[in-house]
Amino acid sequence: MPPIKPSPLLARAIDICKANNVRFTAVRQQVFTLMAEHKGAITAYELLEQLQAFDSKAKPPTIYRALEFLLENHFIHRIESLNSYLMCCHLGCEHAMQLLICNKCKKVIELSDPVIDEAFSEKASQFGFKITNKVLEAHGICETCLYN
């Protein structure tokens, strides 16, 4: 694997990994960088194809392991309704999350609204249900596409 293209974002991620004492290996950094450069959602196999430009022997487990690592460390999000993945705009911190996914331009707006989050948790607690994980994804048309 050739050296990874440096970037401020990557540098921050390296710091976070150092602080958390986890190994941010070459494959992981390369996948991180590919995700960071890709605006919007990307599928595992699209990512794999891109990774193979740097590492021709990369196989599905290569990419899925890297994605798993990035998810665990809160560097990326998984979009359930698209079977795809997205750079997290809060790099490395856990937080309430909602997504607005544009059907037309495919861009994704990442929200972190406590009102929506708590409304759901509150409602669940009325049923004695303890939420461990929320999937809050909306599809529609973004402002830009609406006027184009």
In the complex, the residues that contact DNA under the rule CB under 7 A are 22-23, 25-28, 43-46, 55, 57-62, 64-66, 69, 83-84
- Which residues lie across from 79 on neighbouring strands? 84
- Return d(Cα 32, Cα 10) in angstroms, integer: 8
| CB 97 to a second copy: min, Å | 12
Q: Return the residue of 103, 105, 106, 148 that touches a second copy, per CB under 8 A.
A: 103
78: helix, strand or coil: strand
Report which secondary-structure segment, H or E, holds 146.
Answer: helix 143-146
| CB 146 to DNA: min, Å | 25
Q: Which stretch binds a second copy (CB under 8 A): 30-38, 40-48, 64-72, 94-102?
A: 94-102
Q: Return the residue of 5, 81, 90, 95 that touches a second copy, per CB under 8 A.
A: 81
- Rounded to a whole number of angstroms, the CA Rg of the chain reads 17
Which amino acid is present at 131?
I
CB-nearer residue toward DNA: 28 or 77: 28
Report which secondary-structure segment, H or E, holds 84.
Answer: strand 84-87
Which amino acid is present at 46?
E
What residue has token string 């596409």?
Answer: 145
Q: Is 133 in the site for a second copy (CB under 8 A)?
A: yes
**Site residues (vs a second copy, CB under 8 A):** 80-81, 98, 100, 102-103, 109, 111, 113, 115-116, 119-120, 123-124, 127-143, 146
